[in-house]
Structure 1
Amino acid sequence: MKRKLLFGVLLLIVAAAGLTVLFQKQIGERLFAQGAASRIDNAGLDLGDGLHLILCGTGSPLPNPDRAGPCNVVVADDQAFVVDIGEGGARNLNLIGFDIASLDGLLLTHFHSDHIDGMGPLALFYWTQGSATAPLPLIGPQGVERVADGFNAAYALDHGYRVAHHGTDIVPETGGGLRAMPFAIGEQPVVVLERGGLRITAFRVDHDPVRPSVGYRFDYKGRSIVISGDAARSPMLDRAAKGADILVHDALQPGLVGAMTSALEADGQANTAKITRDILDYHASPEDAARSAQVAGVGRLVLSHLVPPIPNAFFYPAFIGDAATYFEGEITVGEDGMVFSLMPDTSAIKLGKRL
């Protein structure tokens, strides 16, 4: 009896497999249509009033299939700003369900390639998804005009093709590209925007020889987020982060980078090994970031722009190193898709994941 039952089950499996192969095209079309409708219907990201941080990229120039280049979004009620846009950042924003057309601007901390090489797709989505009639505002320190001009020139032919193909109702000719909004930065912090209860302050950081190089602080309804950009530890950053709820700090683990350098040298890749040695002096270690967080009295430290690439969470303790001995608060190793929500009239920080 058991053998007959088993034989019957096997026949059903074989028959089902045969039918699947026979009707694979039709099944695939139906499943795709259902999946597309479901994903589009559930794509919206409703955060509510408060101050929110979305990590749309936590990687570095070193290849990592699980992390886009540096990318952050700060949302304050109906205002939203991207801070840096590395490769893959715009893709992640779409996957997260963020409405790129709703952006108020893009802020750059500095002009290293890995912080700007996602600008083209971001500006394109801003234009096409919302039929924007003006370019995406690009806010940054002196020199940001050259960056905007270069990207606009590179995408000029593409701009013409899209207008000709889709029409000006969908892609207005006056939209597309980037509009530079530079600010001067010296030793003192500078308020670069203040409206609707949101204040954005830029402050200089130590990323020599990269100058200008800044971080940003966002204050809204009693909550605050600080993004370091790329920075070695410095008193400037410690002061700017004073009392912040969240400090997002770049982090390089020297011990792990040293192991990578040794492997590169053993493989004869002298050029790349030289680069991995050079980067040690202008990024903070997790321990340095923890010291800054403690001195500034921040609520939570979020490590991002992770160097070297971390294969998975098993390696987080090795990456964090001794950072927990220097900071009494919570340390989070940032991952693409993390969403931190800071609501008014509370000190709580809610963490979610969208990827």
Structure 2
Amino acid sequence: MLKSFFVLLIMFGVSSAQARAFNVTLLGTGNPWPRPERMGPAVVVKVGEESFLFDVGRGAYLQLHKAGIATKSLRHIFLTHLHSDHTVGLPDLWLSSSLVSRGLEAWEISGPQGTKSFISYMQKAFSADTETRIREDKTPQVKFKINVHEITEGLVYNKNGIKITAFKVEHGPIGEAFGYRIDAEGKSVVISGDTVYSENLIKHSKGVDLLIHEVAYFTGVEVKSSPVLSHHTLPDQAGRVFSQVKPGKAVYTHIVVSKDITPEKLIELTRKTYQGPLVVGEDLMFFELNK
């Protein structure tokens, strides 16, 4: 009888017991404009006890605290590109959390070509602070250590059943820009980064459960006359992306719109080309992928 019980446990209980929670938090859904209700672009993907941060926009460290996500669980940061609104929160996260809540492991930061130079200059800019903390306050040096990885398109992380794939997108003259796909626990999420309409993004997003995509729209403004709109995705273009990908759910973030464009209007504009599940993201919005 006892043997039969353990057989049933193995057949029906162990797999569910071993399944890790896989969830996503939008820390910030805004852009460079000063909008207190929308912090800078940043997304946390959490699988079990491991957290991965994609972009570090304005207020990211405070938003992590609000979301109850401990930085002790966070070692890996992935940058989509090097525009300031996606990186300006990194010094705060790096310095402040290293003083109050970081574990004793080096940071691992991955990003496009130029990331090594960016991180090197950041470290030099704050060297007076970090050197004093290490020498006088006895802060462990490893808390400020950063290992930098300049990536190319392809698999950039593959450990503990978690796969992260970078794929190229196009974002004007910034240089290299990436989106990311995260696969774990039989589920998947794609983060577009900043991009125009992208066939490569569509290719890498097929079958995804959650597609987090940027959007931009200014009422009465022609794309060709706007350096902003010409480097981003319009709602009807995003709808075309969603219609081809057919995600379990599409979510807008990095929302760059004129003041008259409400979330309802943004969805209405997208409905010209897409009728599936769609949410306009808000800061600290939370998604569970495997429940």
Question: What TM-score comes out, normalization by structure 2 length?
Answer: 0.87
Distance in structure 2 (CA, Å) of the matches to 1:215 and 1:64: 24
Q: Which of the residues 22, 39, 53 maps onto 1:51?
A: 22
CA distance in 2, matches of 1:174, 1:237: 36
Q: Contact 1:204–1:215 (CA<8 Å) still a contact in 2?
A: yes
SS in 2 for 1:114: helix
Q: Deviations over 1:203-234 (max 9, x none)?
A: 00011222210000000121100000001012
Q: Which residues in structure 2 correspond to 1:111-130 (within 5 Å)?
A: 111-130=82-101
Which structure has the highest strand share of the two? 2
**Map 1:197-346 → 2, pairs under 5 A:** 197-255=161-219, 258=221, 277-308=226-257, 315-343=262-290
- In structure 1, distance between residues paired with 2:145 and 2:96: 10
1:184 aligns with 2:184: no
Measure, in 2, the Cα distance between the counterparts of 1:293 and 1:177. 40
Q: Which amino acid aligns with 2:87?
A: I
The aligned counterpart of 1:62 is 33
Partner deviation per Cα, 1:316-335 (whole Å, 9 max, x = no partner): 12233421232232111111
Measured after TM superposition, the shift of residue 277 of structure 1 is: 2.1
1:140 equivalenced with 2:111 (yes/no): yes
| Superposed displacement of residue 165, structure 1 | 4.7
CA offsets 1:109-133 (integer angstroms, 9 cap, x no match) = 0000110000011112442234544
Q: Distance in 2 between matches of 1:196 and 1:90?
A: 26
Instruction: Report the AA paired with residue 68 of structure 1.
Output: M
Q: Which amino acid aligns with 2:289?
A: L
> Structure 1 CA distance, aligned partners of 2:32 and 2:217?
15
Task: Structure 2: give runs of 5+ residues left out of the alignment.
Answer: 1-18
Counterpart amino acid of 2:274?
F
Aligned length: 273
**1:164 to partner: Cα distance:** 4.2
Aligned-partner SS, 1:278: coil
Q: Are 1:83 and 2:54 counterparts? A: yes
Structure 2 counterpart of 1:264: none
Structure number, greater radius of gyration: 1
> 2: distance between equivalents of 1:137 and 1:286?
34
Q: 1:254 to 1:309 in 2, by over 3 A?
A: closer
Question: What is the distance in 2 between the residues matched to 1:220 and 1:132?
Answer: 24
Cα offset for 1:309? Answer: 6.3
2:119 matches 1:172 = no
TM-score, structure 1 as length reference? 0.72
Provide, for residues 173-220 of structure 1, a one-character-per-residue CA deviation record: whole Å limited to 9, x for no partner.
2321532112223xxxx0000111110000000112222100000001
Q: Which residue of 2 is the match for residue 103 of structure 1?
A: 74
Gaps of 5+ in 1: 1-47, 260-273, 349-355
Per-residue deviation, 1:104:
2.5
Tell me which amino acid in the other structure corresponds to 2:189: I
Residue-by-residue CA offset, 1:273-315 (whole Å, 9 max, x unaligned): x9x921111100122112111101111110000113658xx92
Q: Among the aligned pairs, what percent are the same residue?
A: 31
Amino acid at match of 2:29: T
- Secondary structure at the counterpart of residue 142 of structure 2: coil
| Greater helix fraction, Structure 1 or Structure 2 | 1
Q: Report if the CA contact (8 A) 2:28-2:38 is conserved.
A: yes
Q: Deviations over 1:41-99 (max 9, x none)?
A: xxxxxxx9232111000000111011111000011112211000011111111122110
